Amino acid sequence: MTSFITEAGGATVAASGAPALAWLLIVLPLAGAAILLLGGRRTDSFGPLLATALSWGSFVVGAIVMIALLGLPSDGRSQHLALWNWVPAGSFQLDAGLLVDQLSMSFVLLITFVGSLIHVYSLGYMEHDPDKRRFFAYLNLFVAAMLLLVLADSYLLVFVGWEGVGLASYLLIGFWNHNPAYATAANKAFFVNRVGDLGLSLAIMLMFVTFGKVDYATVNAGVSQASTTALTAIGLLLLVGATGKSAQFPLQSWLGDAMAGPTPVSALIHAATMVTAGVYLVVRSHAIYDAAPNAQLAVAIVGAITLLYGAIVGCAKDDIKKALAASTMSQIGYMMLAAGLGPVGYAFAIMHLLTHGFFKAGMFLGAGSVMHGMKDNVNMRRFGALSTVMKITWVTFGLGWLAILGVPPFSGFWSKDKIIEAAFIGEGIRPWLLGGAALIGAGITAFYMSRLFFMTFYGEKRWEKGVHPHESPLTMTVPMMVLAVGSALLGFVLSFNSMFVHWLAPVVGEHGEEHPVLSVPVITGLTLVLVALGAGYAWYVYGRKEAVVPTLAPEGSLLTRAARADLYQDAINEGLFMRPGIHATRALVFADAKGVDGAAGGLAAMVGGLSSRLRQLQTGYVRSYALTMLAGVVAVLGTMWVMQ
Amino acid sequence: MSALPAFEAVAVDYWAVAPMLVVVAGALLGVLVEAFAPRESRHSAQVALTVGTLVAAFGVLVWRSVNHHSVTFGGSVAVDGPALFLQGALLVMSSVAVLVMAERFGGVGGDAFTPMGASTPGSSQEAAAAKAGYATSEVFPLTLFAVFGMMIFVSANDLITMFVGLEVLSLPLYVMTGLARRRRLLSQEAALKYFLLGAFSSAFFLFGAALIYGFAGSTDLAKIQSAIAQGTTGMDGLLVPGVLLLIIGLLFKVGAVPFHMWTPDAYQGAPTPVTGFMAACTKVAAFGAILRLVYVGVEGSRWDWRLGIAAIAILTMVVGAVLSVTQTDVKRLLAYSSIAHAGFILVGVLAFSKAAVSGVMFYLVAYGFATIAAFAIISMVRQGGSEASHLSQWAGLGKRHPVVAAVFSLLLLAFAGIPLTSGFTAKFAAFAPAVTSGGTAGVLMVIVGVLASAVTAYVYVRIIVLMYFTAAPEAGEGEEVVALMPSIGTTVAITVGVLATILLGIWPGWALDLAGRAAQFML
Amino acid sequence: MGDAAVTIGTGEQVMFWILAPIAVMASLGLVFARKAVHAALGMALTMIILGVFYIAQGADFLGVIQIFVYTGAVMMLFLFVIMLIGVDASDSLIETLKGQRWAAGLLVLGLGGILVSAVGSVTYGLSDGVAQTNTSKGNVPAMAELIFGRYVWVFEVTSALLITAALGAMVLAHRERLGKGPNQREWSRRRFEKGENLAGLPVPGVYARHNAVDTPALLPDGSISELSVSRVLSAREQTRSPLADLEAEDAIRAEIESGSER
């Protein structure tokens, strides 16, 4: 990077005043989860409302802290709140504390606000579910874990939140676990995430070796003394963690399947929590990445690949939720790309994350509303012409659609366009590749999102018999409206006078003025042209009155079929990892053996293959056991004897 | 021959060894109870006596022995910080384990032990004994003898004391392993295997002791240490083989690879409460002895043999973790997991620092309580009266017995080392010294350890998945899998295990502090 | 053997080189003998020779104890147990595991090689054996001082081991009688109900040529009754075939006949 990095702002100070209340942010939803889970059926009546109220309470605390921070000078906004001395003994100390700063508070507000809206929405959506108390308990747990993740002051505590988010998502995705397919999806999400977790835990360990401690302050201060090799290794391992949680290539396979959960969960996972954790981790570790350019480049490349991958897959999906999931993957790819660009991109990555949080949550809730009206059908080929019967859903969804397309002046324009611009900054072939990917991605995004929008709301009615679409109740539509307002305006507000960039600057460092290889108006112009082309083509195929959308998916071209099959990711995983260990998998007599797939399952199968081979040593004959012992003795003694 | 000098008895610090004396007195009383008490009252009398003895011993330990740090009996017994800490841990854990052994499920399932050990499995005599309400209440004095041996083991400051301790603790375990009520042939086979291989490993230990005696001219750990420090001439060739053979003899007891082969068989065959007792307490005792041997006795020569043991540690972690993947029996699975844990603890042992001693001791306590509770739960889950130890039988347990499944999940998460459980703190406490003072080998071992624990975490999570997210098999054939209602004793045991798991995970400070203060060996 | 050889007299050396190979062979016999009794005897021999070595080195007490305790008490106990289990209990020595013997042999050689090289690489200083102890304190008092002094704890603890062993033996081997056992009347009634061997088992052969218990009886149809001899004898392969006697009988009869003809 050739930019001038000004050292990240003032030193962190001990929290006082409102920021000292930050612990309440986590405790409120956590208490909700505890009350609902431990209280059992007694809390059935008021539980969901309590959970929602506590979530809003957390948002209010967040807002108060935010206001307090805004009242401080920009170098005093990073406040540390020591909680408790986790492992106090001797030379290895572990403290648990919270770090309240511009970055974490941005996340806190997004999580609590969008999370609370989703709570409200769920009140309507889950109204008839017999187990809704448990559902709300998990929602609260999810929010609490995510807040812990972003507020943690050390990588270790991040890991706690990280595991908590994984657990809560697992519980929520598998919430309807009476359906075996859903339970399988939950398993897949969990296993793939374990690979990511492994990366994170190795990174933490390596940090411990390199820096001696794993809190942000020590790590950031120690970066200048550490070797580049160590930093690159840490950066790559963190990236593995981030790809797992944020569904980035090559660990993205779980995201589509995770749509099995109730729709509000999808909204929560995709917009406000979970998938954003990877981006947060990369941005939070900016000091490491800035000192390890190779790792940083890897982040950008992973982002670029994923944004194209998600976009291509999104073009072929007929399941509205899976199409949205692919879009999330792609949009997170943009954020990763931005985060991999260094100081130029950090602020835009987070900004896009915030705007995306709003419009994607809005669209998911909209999709939920459509499903609610269509008797839980998710096949877009059986939708059509819904703009007439579901007006609120149509309008709110439409605003989200405009935002994700990046049409000015809606939110997406302000954040995504900046990322594309930033991707074009640099020397050599790099900006052309990264920028080109981002640019093409924008065009494809326009196509598949328009396809989704048109197939759902325009064209002719292709409803199944006996389906009478109707607008959803107010508890569902009000959150959608609020989010739609955010989708429309948030980008502009944040970009006004580069407000957000300046706000984050003390955390991630400020970058000097730099110029893309193409001039800014050209990039913006190109983007808009591509977007218009994509959307126009979608209109031509799916939107016009005359357009015929077959209710059964046509066989399609090779690419379409590949995209439908997630570009054969699962098949590749299977071929590479599963086949060799297939015997092992057979040896597993679990009823849920099918749940083991994807990359994690492949690795597991490899371990399993090794395992069943090693297992043959355990013959059951005591004389062969004794022989093994003897072999061990001879080996150890022999080696030591030779070495002397 | 000159006039004999008067015999001088060695000075004995009786308060220092009082806990051990209490335990052995209780064991002897137990034998008498077995001989004279009427059959109907034997079980309850034995349980009360055993638990009472263990609690009393713990009381004495806390009340008096802690102020009597001393090397007594002419240097053959060292009651110092680590010894007292581990003895205290042993006493508490074994009283918890005894509560599980006493479980009879209100007469529904019978206790875990065969009504008559001598009857042929499946014979009419066995059935008659069961019908007559016979019980092998001898397990309780046997348990006390085993505990006694373990306490000697962790305080042995002389190779001979150590060997006798090893045998005193092993012999009752061999017998108890063969006393399972159900699948008795498996149980008896396991006992025989355990016994034969145990004898085999004792031979290695003795050979090592002989070589070390040749080197140092004494079996006293302090004298061995000074002999190593002086570097006696000409005899050096005996040192390293001797040390390695000694350590190998001890590693057998913890189930380190490749001396682990007995573990899965014995764990599976033994009555489940005994398995819990074995897994938790034997590990404490054996690692206590290993710590004392390598830190007090042969620490000076560690550069000559450390790599060999490090290789064993790595192998142990890898094999334990990898093999746990394909297990289909819960008890075998936990056996392999205990092998992997032995590897993790070895990583801590090889760090050679005071922090490592406290980390290892903390790990042993954290692992022990969780293990006893886990096996207690396994003994509760039944199908048609016998233990449902096959994994497929656990499918869908979360639906029918949410509390049991939740507790088991918590314990599994602790084994996996998930933060905020004792397992995480313990791994941290054992691995951190290895990173800071273990050199390259230490870091390498820790990396392998983290990878291995990821593999085991996968295994544990799969059980959780099985319990919560898999439908129970159709109840077409056979009876439904149920978790029996435990008696107050088992409930207490499980509660203690769960509380320890949570407390040591969230608030480990006091325990680490205690272990840290107790981590100084005496000579 | 370096300097130490100085203190070893010729007589002792001669004795060592004669007895040591025997001890080694006896211990190998212990491992490889097919019959448990032979193995036990091999063990006894090894123990005795070790005792002799101890005495030769001046540790009289230890040597005597070795022979008393191990060879006398323990071995007899061992033999007693073997007899109790049944002398016919002999293991099948057919190895079913592929490569087991081969690998075991190799590893044993390896371990032996390493240990021999370790022990052999050492130079032993001049040792006075137990001579000094014998002159200053005396063999037995010195031993007593160790047992009741420094090792008194261990010595006492060993009792726990013995109690455990006794308790374990009771648990694993003692069958309590459940209910009343059948008396003689019931036994014979049961036998008649079964209708087998109503007149008791056949007695062994009746040729008064020698101890006839080892010769199975001939049933009326001329077949040999294995039931008539003790199981122990057949296990030891100490039974005779009655066929030889039959032939002898035939020979005698022929002789008598030929004699009567004469």
Mean pLDDT of B19-31: 95
Whole-number Å distance between alpha carbons of A273 and A144:
10
Cβ-Cβ contacts under 8 Å, C115 against chain A: 637
B119 touches chain C (CB under 8 A): yes
Q: What percentage of chain A has pLDDT greater than the value 70? A: 82
Specify the pLDDT at position A418.
82
> E strand or H helix at A97, and its extent?
strand A94-100
Q: What number of helices (H) and strands (E) belong to chain A?
A: 26, 3
Inter-chain CB proximity B31 and C144 less than 8 Å: no
Inter-chain CB proximity B74 and C122 less than 8 Å: no
Give the side-chain half-sphere CA count within 13 A for B47. Answer: 19
Q: For chain A, how many residues are written?
A: 644
Summarize pLDDT for A199-222 with one digit per residue, the tens. 888 888 788 777 877 888 888 888
Burial of A71 (0-12, 13-18, 19+ CB in 10 A): exposed
Q: Is C92 left (phi over 0), alpha (psi -120 to 50) or beta?
A: beta
Q: C touches which chains (3+ CB pairs under 8 A)?
A: A, B
Specify the pLDDT at position A589.
32
Alpha-carbon Rg for chain B in angstroms: 23
Inter-chain CB proximity A91 and B244 less than 8 Å: no
Task: Compare CB distances from B116 to C151, C161, C175 and report the shortest one's residue.
Answer: C175
Structure tokens at B435: 């990173």
Inter-chain CB proximity C100 and A633 less than 8 Å: no
Mean pLDDT of B422-428: 89
Summarize pLDDT for C35-76 with one digit per residue, the tens. 777 888 888 899 999 999 998 888 888 899 988 888 777 777
Q: Min CA distance, C68 vs chain B (Å)?
A: 22
CB A507 within 8 A of CB A8: yes
Specify the pLDDT at position B54.
96
Res C195 pLDDT > 90: no
Summarize pLDDT for B437-492 with one digit per residue, the tens. 888 888 889 888 988 888 888 788 778 878 877 776 665 556 778 888 888 889 99
Whole-number Å distance between alpha carbons of A603 and A597:
9
Give the residue numbers in C contacting A (CB under 8 Å), as ranges.
Answer: 97, 100, 103-104, 107-108, 110-111, 114-115, 117-118
Of A475 and A570, which is predicted with more confidence? Answer: A475
Res B59 pLDDT > 90: yes
The DSSP secondary structure of A592-606, one letter per residue, reads TGGG--HHHHHHHHH
Q: B touches which chains (3+ CB pairs under 8 A)?
A: A, C
Task: Compare CB distances from A87 to B305, B325, B425 and report the shortest one's residue.
Answer: B425
Q: Would you place residue B33 in the very low, low, confident or very high pLDDT band (cuts 50, 70, 90)?
A: very high
CB B23 within 8 A of CB B148: yes
Lowest model confidence (mean pLDDT) among B253-257, C40-44, C112-116? C40-44
- The residue behind tokens 């309008």 is A395
CB atoms within 10 A of CB A195: 23
Task: Compare CB distances from A611 to B196, B323, B392 and report the shortest one's residue.
Answer: B323
CB A69 within 8 A of CB A19: yes
Alpha helices in C174-225 (DSSP H): 184-194
The residue type of B315 is L
Inter-chain CB proximity B175 and C115 less than 8 Å: no
CB atoms within 10 A of CB B196: 16
For strand B386-387 and strand B481-483, is the pairing parallel, antiparallel, or unpaired?
unpaired
Considering only residues 133 to 152 of chain B, which have any Cβ-Cβ distance to chain C shorter than 8 Å? 134, 136, 138, 141-142, 145, 148-149, 152
- Cα torsion for B56, B62, B64, B69, to the nearest 10°? 130
Inter-chain CB proximity C115 and B241 less than 8 Å: yes
The residue type of C110 is G
Summarize pLDDT for A97-148 with one digit per residue, the tens. 888 888 888 888 888 888 888 888 888 777 777 778 888 888 888 889 888 8
Beta bridge partners of A319: A379
Inter-chain CB proximity A641 and C108 less than 8 Å: no
Whole-number Å distance between alpha carbons of A23 and A15:
11
> E strand or H helix at A302, and its extent?
helix A293-316
Cβ-Cβ contacts under 8 Å, A644 against chain B: 240, 304
Whole-number Å distance between alpha carbons of B348 and B287:
11
Inter-chain CB proximity B237 and C115 less than 8 Å: no
Of A560 and A32, which is predicted with more confidence? Answer: A32
User: Who's near A310: CB < 8 A, 6+ residues apart?
Assistant: A252, A326, A327, A328, A329, A330, A331, A332, A333
For strand B381-383 and strand B386-387, is the pairing parallel, antiparallel, or unpaired?
antiparallel
Whole-number Å distance between alpha carbons of B187 and B177:
6
Whole-number Å distance between alpha carbons of A435 and A448:
20
Q: From A103, A226, A94, A239, select the one nearest A154 (Cα to Cα).
A: A94
> E strand or H helix at B404, and its extent?
helix B402-416
Cβ-Cβ contacts under 8 Å, C114 against chain B: 241
Q: Min CA distance, B42 vs chain C (Å)?
A: 15
Beta bridge partners of B398: none
Summarize pLDDT for B118-155 with one digit per residue, the tens. 888 888 888 888 888 888 889 999 999 999 999 999 99
Burial of A136 (0-12, 13-18, 19+ CB in 10 A): buried
- In angstroms, the Cα distances linking B44 to B48, B51, B179 are 6, 11, 19
CB A244 within 8 A of CB A278: yes
A627 touches chain C (CB under 8 A): yes
The DSSP secondary structure of B233-245, one letter per residue, reads SS-HHHHHHHHHH
Task: Compare CB distances from B10 to C114, C141, C149 and report the shortest one's residue.
Answer: C149
Cβ-Cβ contacts under 8 Å, A614 against chain B: 319, 322-323
For strand B77-79 and strand B70-72, is the pairing parallel, antiparallel, or unpaired?
antiparallel
CB atoms within 10 A of CB A498: 12
CB B293 within 8 A of CB B162: yes
Q: A touches which chains (3+ CB pairs under 8 A)?
A: B, C
Inter-chain CB proximity B458 and A584 less than 8 Å: no
Which chain C residue is nearest to residue A628, measuring alpha carbons? C104
Beta bridge partners of B490: none
Res C205 pLDDT > 90: no
Cβ-Cβ contacts under 8 Å, C148 against chain B: 7, 9
Task: Compare CB distances from C150 to B76, B164, B171 and report the shortest one's residue.
Answer: B76
Specify the pLDDT at position A2.
33
Mean pLDDT of C151-161: 93
Q: What percentage of chain A has pLDDT greater than the value 90? A: 0
Whole-number Å distance between alpha carbons of B518 and B79:
11
Q: Is A279 left (phi over 0), alpha (psi -120 to 50) or beta?
A: alpha
Specify the pLDDT at position A591.
31
Whole-number Å distance between alpha carbons of B42 and B53:
16
Burial of B14 (0-12, 13-18, 19+ CB in 10 A): exposed
Specify the pLDDT at position C166.
93
Res B359 pLDDT > 70: yes
Mean pLDDT of B266-282: 94
Give the side-chain half-sphere CA count within 13 A for A271. Answer: 33
Specify the pLDDT at position A598.
38
Prior bond to B172 cis, omega within 30? no
DSSP state of A99: E
* Predicted interface score ipTM higher than 0.85: yes
The residue type of A243 is T
B438 touches chain C (CB under 8 A): no
Whole-number Å distance between alpha carbons of B263 and B253:
9
Helix-helix angle A293-316:A430-457, to 10 degrees: 30
DSSP state of B180: B
Specify the pLDDT at position C2.
38
Structure tokens at A75: 């170098």
Whole-number Å distance between alpha carbons of A300 and A642:
49
